[in-house]
Amino acid sequence: MRYNVFTIKAHKFTMGFVHILFEGEVKSMEINLNTGRPVKNKNILRNILTNLIPKDFIPLYTLLSIFVKNVLLIGLIFDQTHQLPLMREAFNAVFQLYRFRPVYYMAFSLACICVIFLFKNRGRFLVSIIVNFLVSFLLLVDLWYLRGFNTLPTLHMLKAGGNLGDSINSFFPLIHLIDLVFVLDIPFLLIAFFAKKNLYRNVSRNVVFSVFILFVSVFGVLYIAPQVNNRAAKPLPITSIFNRFNPVTTIRSLSPLGYNIYSSYNFFTEKSTLSLSGADRDRISAWYEQKNEKLPDNEYKGMFKGKNLLLIQVESLENFVVNQKVNGQEITPTLNKLLKNSLYFSGIHEQVGGGNSSDSHLMVNASVYPIQLGTTFINNAFTEYNSLPKLLKGIGYYTSTFHPVDGAFWNWKPALTSMGYDRCYDSTSYNITEKINMGISDRLFFEQIEPMIIKQSQPFFTFMVTLSSHSPFELPEQYKELNLEGELGRSRLGGYLQCIRYTDKHIGLLLDRLDKDGILDNTIVAITGDHEGIHKYFPDEIKSMKNTEDWWLNNDKLLPLILYNKNISPKEISTVGGQVDIMPTLAYLMGVDEDNYINTAMGRNLLKTNKSYAVLRDRTLVGNPDESDEKLALQGMELSDIIIRGDYFKK
């Protein structure tokens, strides 16, 4: 390859510039184009540096760094597993889809750097690094939370901060190598700051410019961006841009930084409780009226009337493991056996939000969607509901709940007490001599609650929760019963399958003991999952495995619902629904008068409906909804927020 003289001299100039930069000789110099070395006592280089690089360059660098990192997070949000930034989609969403979005991205980035100009000299450099780090860490928290909960965090979640202690091990696997891109520049900036003591001198404080930057930022958010949007061919409604009920759309429009500022504004300005107006109550009543299909009763009405109901919420139980084998071994032999005498609902979808298992408690017991910001049990623990325990108490049932963790965890005990349970047992009720993952082992838990269950007055409704199959899916070697070799045996998926097999075994042993106690014949055993497990926390690890099987990759947010009794003929109900539909379905089967819950349950009775759909937490719909179904479902999620915060059901 041949080089011309200009190319060679340009290369030498570049090398000389780099030499000067690292040697710190930024005095009057010029570059000898023949040798590529600096020549002292000349003014040429000073002029070049002055023209090419402003003396106060660090605020500009910080601004661009924050802007780029915001776009990068959008790219990670587009990826289903949030592991690989889809930059083409992010670029299209930010710069091409709606032209007002770059204004928001830049305006909120400017808001971060205005504080930098309040400092002078090296203080400005140091504060710039701190601002860069704080914003980067905030974006990483957004990313980690998104991976763990499939939703975006808010300051409301600080109220639940104390609940993370027992589950902190579940968060470490959410951190991935790609996350380093958010902080990769900061060590280099720190090295430059501490190694070059003469770097960034003679820079004065500029309070006026700081105020001006803040003004430009606010002006861009409140005026320029809306004007750009309004002049577009198809402007986006302002309710879609600033939408507390749709964080994914909001974060794409406002930028991740803007979303955090907006959600923080909501945190400080809105109250956790509302005073409902007459118009609010009319809207809610009209929604229920539109939801009700008014279909005739069928053979399922009161099918289980008078029987005990034992509802078991299994930690992280997904539908894809039911009736499935790995290396020729059944993963859930107990559940598979129960299906032979069960109504099996195979179309139930996860709908939990930031409250995870506690949100499942809410929907299964009360048939309302969780609040959109924060967690329902933390923010609104004492809200009253027309719940399943209240409905069953109304027809003579004794109600109880057995939970393996402390009653303050996610505020589940105060919340379930408010729902009307006669007795709530927490971890203080057991002798905890063995722990697996987050708390007492399922083996020990089941052994200790069995005598408590049989002593209850009948008919009873008992709601119980398991724990051993919780992330990070680590089971002691002596309890592993599946023969999983090689990569699968070492993987998180293998750990998940072992934990599910362990819990499945001990559910079987519990039912055997209840059978010997003579109460199983007159008991309906309902088994469901609280949320996804391996596909919720480690979907990328499954995809990266070498010898994957199709059923491993089935990430469809499906949870099983199995209603077992010895005298039931097996039947699969494939109607698409969600966790919010479980309560009215159970109430119908247990013989509760439909008039007592038809205008309070937001879910549908899956045994008496012509509809087959569910709305997920991210506001997408699955199944076969028509346009009116979609509108009704999305309105329901918003109204549920008002119902809970306004204590709509309180008499």
How is residue 509 written in tokens? 């042993």
Would you put residue 26 in left (φ > 0), alpha (ψ -120 to 50) or beta? Answer: alpha
Q: 570: cis peptide before it, omega within 30°?
A: no
Would you put residue 33 in left (φ > 0), alpha (ψ -120 to 50) or beta? Answer: alpha
Q: How many residues does the chain have?
A: 651
Distance of alpha carbon 454 from alpha carbon 514, whole angstroms: 8
Are 125 and 198 in contact, with CB atoms under 8 Å apart? no
Q: 459: cis peptide before it, omega within 30°?
A: yes
Q: What is the β-pairing status of strands 29-31 and 571-573?
A: unpaired
Q: What is the β-pairing status of strands 523-529 and 460-465?
A: unpaired
357 as an active site residue: the answer is yes
Q: Considering 128, 167, 263, 357, which one is annotated as catalytic?
A: 357
Distance of alpha carbon 44 from alpha carbon 53, whole angstroms: 14
- Other beta carbons within 10 angstroms of residue 491's beta carbon come to 20
How is residue 628 written in tokens? 């009116």
Distance of alpha carbon 564 from alpha carbon 550, whole angstroms: 29
CA angle 277, 280, 286 (to 5 degrees): 140
CA angle 435, 439, 444 (to 5 degrees): 55
CA atoms within 13 A on the CB side of 46: 7
Rg (C-alpha) for the chain, rounded Å, is: 30
Q: Is 280 annotated as a binding residue?
A: no
Q: Is 176 annotated as a binding residue?
A: no
Distance of alpha carbon 111 from alpha carbon 212, whole angstroms: 10
Residue at 531: amino acid letter: H
Sign of CA dihedral 161, 70, 171, 537: positive
For 280, 376, 646, the CA distances from 273, given in Å and listed in that order, are 14, 11, 6
Are 573 and 344 in contact, with CB atoms under 8 Å apart? yes
How is residue 442 written in tokens? 């399922």
Sole residue written with tokens 């729902």: 419
Are 384 and 418 in contact, with CB atoms under 8 Å apart? yes
Reference 609, options 628, 593, 588, 595; nearest CA is: 588
- Give, as one character, the DSSP assignment of residue 160: G
Known binding-site positions: 315, 470, 530-531
Active site (catalytic) residues: 357
Known binding-site positions for substrate: 470
Known binding-site positions for Mn(2+): 315, 530-531
